[in-house]
Amino acid sequence: MALDRWIAFVILCVALAYGYAAFFTMDGLLPPFMQRNPIWPSTFPKILSVLTVLTCLVILLGLEKSDDPDNIGDIDYRRLGQYNLTQALLLLGLMVAYALLLRPAGFLLSTFAFLSAGAFVLGERKFHILLPVAAAASFAVWYLVDQVLGIFLRPWPFFI
């Protein structure tokens, strides 16, 4: 079995466990006033798990493959050195740093830094476009979550 199918199988197992938790364990302890809401805290995890399971099944069953035998898109694990592993590892490191800095640095600063650094790692060098877009995206997400949805996100660092 090709590497992409093995990865899809592992993600499928994680998505099934996540879906089980979303469908059967998340809603049991909801207070009565939240049970009357049309959208529960488990709504997004349910949607995410179903879409992930469907996507993994498409990959596992080979429905995304073309019929052209010359167009083979399998990952050759013997040539991993030729892939851009440094970009992938840097992005994973940025994700971990973002998660660790979210509370102490605040949402706006950590999200702005993550988006800017992530775009830089991926090769974007037009800083006159990158920085305003990262700032606008950070503010827009914070505004929607904090002001529209009413879920508090600390916008600034803890010392401000």
pLDDT at 28: 77
- Using pLDDT thresholds of 50, 70 and 90, give the confidence band for residue 133: very high
* Boundaries of every domain in the chain: 3-68, 85-148
Dump pLDDT digits (tens) for 7-51: 999 999 999 999 999 888 887 777 887 777 777 888 899 999 999
Q: Is the full-model pTM beyond 0.75?
A: no
Q: How confident is the model at residue 1 (pLDDT cuts 50, 70, 90)?
A: low
For 42-86, write each residue's pLDDT tens digit: 889 999 999 999 999 999 998 877 666 665 656 666 776 777 888
Q: What is the DSSP string of the chain?
A: --HHHHHHHHHHHHHHHHHHHHHHTSSTT--HHHHTSSS-TTHHHHHHHHHHHHHHHHHHTTTT--S-TT------GGGGGGS-HHHHHHHHHHHHHHHHHHHHH-HHHHHHHHHHHHHHHTT---HHHHHHHHHHHHHHHHIIIIIIS------S-TT-
